[in-house]
Structure formats: structure tokens, C-alpha cells
Amino acid sequence: MPATAQVMNDTLMEVEHTPPVHKRVLDILPGVSGGVARIMVGQPFDTIKTRLQVLGRGTIGAAGMPPEMVYSSGVDCVRKMMKSEGPTSLYRGTVAPLLGNMVLLGIHFPTFTKTRAFLERDSAPGSFSPSSILLAGAAAGAAGSVVSTPTELIRTKMQMVRKNNILAQMKGAAVGGLNPEENYKGNWDCAKKILRNHGLRGIYSGYLATLLRDMQGYAWFFFGYEATVHYLAGPGKTKADLDYMQVMIAGVMAGFGLWGSMFPIDTIKSKIQADSLSKPEFKGTLDCLSRSLSVEGHAGLWRGVTAALWRAIPVNAAIFLAVEGTRELIAESEDSVDAFMAKLQGKEQGSSPAAM
């Protein structure tokens, strides 16, 4: 990676001629590009993961559902979805998380960078502190959970529309069929109906589980990345010395750290957010955990983890490739502007009376 990327190691673009508002934009831009990469690459994997968590064979949600809506594996899930719902079903509910993740990673990366800088303010430059990285990652996850909860709720609701409609038909066919409150036509319709019928409490359904998940997950997400970068770079070097393949490898390790540490909590989060808001089956996070363990056992908390880990490989490689690539482009553009400004100042001094 070119040396111009070195400027990105501590904080983004502290350049004198850049106005403060522009610095903030440049600070979040790499995270925004990573958010786009995450959703466009990872949405099909996330759809499969969520369906297995909620409608996998032996789960509470699968009880009473027709066979075509109960999945025994990731491959079985894809096969049944393609047959009954078509290939676009893998991208159902994409708009909300796409917009949300552009904001989300625009929060995660600056929060991590600035929190880590604060925690390591008295440390030697280039030092590697596992505790600081874990704490900064947890802070980034906590900050992002405010955005991730409603966006993931909408995505989960859209992924479960067909299930809810089938249940409504099975339970209420005699009184008119589908439940209009949970029969969402799209992302915006879903958000409006939830806010209208259940308010902010409804749109933040599953917040506690999401908060705990994100604090733990992003602590190990950033630790996985920074630890791998530290190892690959070697003594006396930084991430600026890595090539793009090494950055992608570090990104994959970040993804493994994320999903490997938080998957059971994510399963509970998915179950709560897939639950009906008008007639919920679970009373809260602890009730969902207790009932899931009693019915499905500990193995049930890990249902869908294979899809999540496969997802981590292309998604997190793409995230960090997009993030570091964007940082490098910003650094190079700033260097070009610096050179232009220096040249312009030289011309102005050369044409001044004092220079004549």
C-alpha cells in the first residue's frame, strides 16, 4: 500500500487547509464505502442466516409452519427460497440496511479511531494495546447500535413477511386472511406501519440484544483486524506497508472475530425482531433466551453460523478493501491539493514586489 496511506493510521486527514466540516466528511467516508460493500456482498448470506435462526428445523418459529418454510441447512434454505420466492428474495429488505450501514460504518470507524487514540494518548506511537482496541471496538459497537437496531428490524421484518402472511392465513382465514399490520409492501411501508402502530418502542424492538451483540462483536471485529495487521506488518511497520491482499486477509479475520464472538446473541436478536409486535411470543430478551434453550438447546443458538462465517470471508474482505482504498484515495487527493497549494503560494510570492 503506498506510503500516502500512512497518514490514515491515527486519524483521518488532519490537514490545515481542510475546513473542519470537510474533515468530518472525510473521516466518515471510508466507513460509508465499507457499508455499501457490506450490504451488496453480504445481503444474501444474511437472509439465509436469519431464516435459519428463526425458521430452522427444530426452532420455536418453525413449529406449525408448512415444510417449504422450514429449513434444514443453508443449501436447503437457498433451494426452497429460489423455488417458492425467486432469486430476488435473497435481497428482500436491502434498502434499509444499505442506507443504515452507510451511516453505521461511518459511525463505527471514526468512533473506534478516536476512542483508541484517547485510550492510547500516553502510549508510544505504533504501540499495540489489546485492551485499548477491545474497549474502543466495544464503544464503536455501542454507538452504532442506535442505528443498527431499527435498520436490522426492518430487514428482518421484510425477510419474514411471507412467514407472517402464512401464519395469518393459517390462524385467521375464517376472519379475513392476511394481517394488514404486518403485511409490509416495502421498507418504507414497514417503517411507517411500525412507527404508527408501535412508536419508537416498536422500531427499537430488540435493542438490548443488539446493544450487547454489537459491543461484544465489534470489540473482537476491530481486534481481529488490528491484531492481524500488527502480525502481518511485522516490527517497526504499519498498515501502510501492507498490500491489498494482506488487508483483505485482515478483514476476513475481523469478520471471524465478529461472528464467532457474538453469534448466540445475534440469534436471540433475530428471534425477537422476527416476533410479532402486536402479539409477541417472547416477553423479552431473557424470556427468548430461556425458551430457546429449553426447546432447541445450546446448539440452537448457533444455527446458521456456517452461513455467517462464509459470509464473513467476502463481506469483510470487501469492507476493509473499500475502507482502506477510500482512505488511500483521500490521502492521495489531499497530497495533490497540498502540492497545488504550495505551487500556487510559490507563484504568488514570486510575483510579489518583495520578490522582484
Per the CB < 8 A criterion, the answer to whether 129 and 123 are in contact is: yes
Instruction: Give the helix ranges, DSSP H, for the chain.
Output: 20-55, 74-84, 95-119, 130-159, 161-172, 187-203, 207-233, 244-274, 285-300, 305-350
The answer to whether the predicted template modeling score (pTM) of the entire model surpasses 0.85 is: no
Q: Is the pLDDT of residue 6 over 50?
A: no
Mean pLDDT of the 185-214 span: 94
The fraction of the chain above a pLDDT of 70, given in percent, is 72
Q: Domain residue spans in the chain?
A: 19-178+207-331
Residue 285 grid coordinates:
430478551
Per the CB < 8 A criterion, the answer to whether 188 and 158 are in contact is: no
In the prediction, which pLDDT does 217 show? 97
**Which range, of 44-48, 129-133, 171-175, averages the lowest pLDDT?**
171-175
**Bigger pLDDT: 38 vs 210:** 210
SS3 204: coil
Q: How would residue 124 be classed by pLDDT, with cut points 50, 70 and 90?
A: confident
> What mean pLDDT, rounded, does the chain reach?
79
Write the DSSP symbol of residue 351. T
> Which residues contact residue 63 at a Cβ distance below 8 angstroms, ignoring those fewer than 6 apart?
none
Rg of the chain in Å (alpha carbons): 24
DSSP per residue, 49-111? HHHHHHHBTTSTTTTT--GGG-BSSHHHHHHHHHHHT-GGGGGTT-HHHHHHHHHHHHHHHHH
Provide the phi-psi class of 183: left if phi over 0, else alpha when psi is between -120 and 50, else beta: beta
Q: Is the pLDDT of residue 184 over 80?
A: yes
In the prediction, which pLDDT does 11 show? 36
**Which CATH fold topology does 19-178+207-331 show?**
Mitochondrial carrier fold (1.50.40)
